[in-house]
Structure 1
């Protein structure tokens, strides 16, 4: 479970064994979790986050999208 980024209590990561899915990032913090697709950035699922937090997380994913995609591709052997 490589952690790609930490911002405050939010941890952005993906699982190493997710080769069958399109690039995405998971987020966890204080009992909440979410999953965002990276292209395009879109919420896949969430549990425990308020809508305001999800909006802020979406903007963060957009901001760091290139970083997340590069980490995903490096781990899963894909070229950008």
Structure 2
């Protein structure tokens, strides 16, 4: 499970056997979420507080080029 980055107690990662569209998983102490990258949108969440989802979405938006680059490096 390649980790892309960690910020504010949240881990941003994808799984090694992923599928399109490009997306990122987020985990914190409360739960998990999944965001598509282009355009950035929440796909699902379980347990993460709304304020943390808002922050996670902003971080995904801010880092979507990095996420896309890492996805392409790993998945080809």
| TM-score tier after normalising by the smaller chain length | over 0.9
Q: Look up the match of 2:15.
A: 15
Give 1:1-80 correspondences, 5 Å limit: 1-18=1-18, 20-77=19-76
In 2, distance between residues paired with 1:75 and 1:54?
26
In structure 1, stretches of 5+ residues that fail to align are none
TM-score, normalised with respect to structure 1: 0.90
In 2, distance between residues paired with 1:62 and 1:72?
15
Asked which structure has the greater CA Rg, the reply is: 1
RMSD: 0.9
Misfit runs of 4+, over 3 Å:
none
TM-score, normalised with respect to structure 2: 0.94
In structure 2, stretches of 5+ residues that fail to align are none
In 2, distance between residues paired with 1:52 and 1:9?
13
